[in-house]
Chain A
Amino acid sequence: MMDNQHFDEPPTAQLSSTYPSAPMEYVNMYTNENVKSGKAPPPPKIIKDNYTSFGRLIDPNEVLIRPLESQGIQQLYSLQTPDQSRPHLNTNNYKRELKKLNHSILIAYLDLLEVLVKAPNTQIQIEQAAPIQLNELGEPIQNPEPIVIIKTLREQKLEDLEVLFINMHHLINELRPHQARDNIRCILEMQKQQRIELAEKFKEHLRKIVDLLKHCIDSIRPEVCAKQSTLMNELSNLIKNANQLTKSLDKFSPNKTNGYHIQDESDIEMREMDTERNNLINLVNITSNKLSQQKINNNNNNEQSIINNKNCDIKDLILCDLIDDFLIKENEF
């Protein structure tokens, strides 16, 4: 079945990837739209029963580290708490047990050496409880005969040493889950620290930017106001001049000049004056337009939307609102 799938795939996929590519009928279901609208199939549920992985049967409910006795090796340490309520390792005095094992190993080695020196071929008899046997009815046989094993003392000591070493390694391995949890804790701690540091740095930069902007606004404002007031002065001067001119022009209006000039000449003169007056008025208008344009530009330069005369209310500014908002919320944190 697997082979068929492989054959269906284009040969390039096989060449480029170590693993077979994912089944496309599933991959196609997980488009962005599908995921957004919830149409994509949910991930499969966690398997709670036994399952096989790489040909090995795996029981998820199994304890991570099987006790030594289940492997037919005598367990030499006891990690039971006095109250027996929490049989697990972590509340227990594994340090003491480890040390005891370490010292036992040394002593066992010394024993072995002594045996080797003094009596390498001494034989001892060991009585071992027989494994429980069943009779024909399937019941355990009561009081089976103990098995007597004869070995040399040397062999016995070597076996002791072996069991001690196995126990030591097993006890150390029992600490592995605890170590793994501690590792996760360290990693999380580091991540947290990193995030906090990053946020702090970012905040610092933001504060600097805000300060800079405020500084800019402050430094721009007097300039703009000064510029504006000079322009206003110019404008008022111009208007004054223009008014004076119009007044003086009015003196030469047709009604008043009618009496003492020749009609044609006075007409020409009056027309000239009229155009002059109109020109002046135009000039005034242009200037005032320019001034207002200038004003708008100044406003923009200042990153302010409104400057009313010299009363520039910072609170009105969107930017400053934002800055305030930021500062307030920052304090909340």
Chain B
Amino acid sequence: MSDRLSQLQDQVNKLASLFCDATGILQQRAKPSKFENFAESLNRGYEDDDKDKPVDEKSIEDVKIEYAKSITSAAKRIDELIDSLPNEDESNEQLQAQQLRELEIENAIAARQLEYVTKCAENLLQQIQQKISYVAQSQLNFHQEPKDP
């Protein structure tokens, strides 16, 4: 999932390719038109060709509608994506810069707090370790002493 701007650009590109495809389809499936004063001489019955493929006519119509639908939905999607972009007042450059500066300061404060807590914990740990070693030492001493006399 890309960001919104890339999505928007992709959608615009999609719209462009849909235009191309739709035009191509229209051209491909268009009835051949008569050349004036020319068709008669060739004596080709265009109408006969049409009668040969009555089912095809319907599918052409379907494809056309399909393309019209996808073009409108792509355009609609572009509009939606544009709407989803942030509002003007949120996107002020100065405001953003200020936000960044504030965030930086807040970040530094948070970092210092974290450092402080870590230092406290380290102190406590050191104290506890000292006491424990003290206790262990005196325990050893205490257990050794009765054997001495």
Contact = CB atoms under 8 A, between A and B. Distances in A.
Contacts of A112: 23
B63 interface: no
Given A95-B83, A109-B19, A296 B114 contact: no
Contacts of A17: none
A288 to B, nearest CB: 14
> Among B15, B83, B120, which residue has the most Cβ atoms of chain A within 10 A?
B120
DSSP majority for the B interface? helix
A192 B103 contact: yes
Interface in A236-275: none
Interface residues of A, number: 62
Given A106-B75, A181-B100, A202-B114, A191 B107 contact: yes
B39 interface: no
A258 B142 CA distance: 46
B121 A206 contact: yes
B65 interface: no
A105 B82 CA distance: 15
A217 to B, nearest CB: 11
Interface stretch (A3-11, A125-133, A136-144, A168-176): A168-176
Given A99-B82, A202-B117, A293-B142, A91 B103 contact: no
B12 A168 contact: yes
A169 B120 contact: no
B60 interface: no
29 contacts: A88-B93, A90-B92, A91-B91, A91-B93, A95-B85, A95-B87, A95-B88, A102-B79, A103-B75, A105-B15, A109-B19, A169-B9, A169-B12, A173-B9, A175-B5, A185-B96, A188-B104, A192-B103, A195-B110, A203-B117, A206-B117, A206-B124, A213-B128, A293-B142, A300-B135, A300-B138, A318-B127, A322-B124, A326-B124
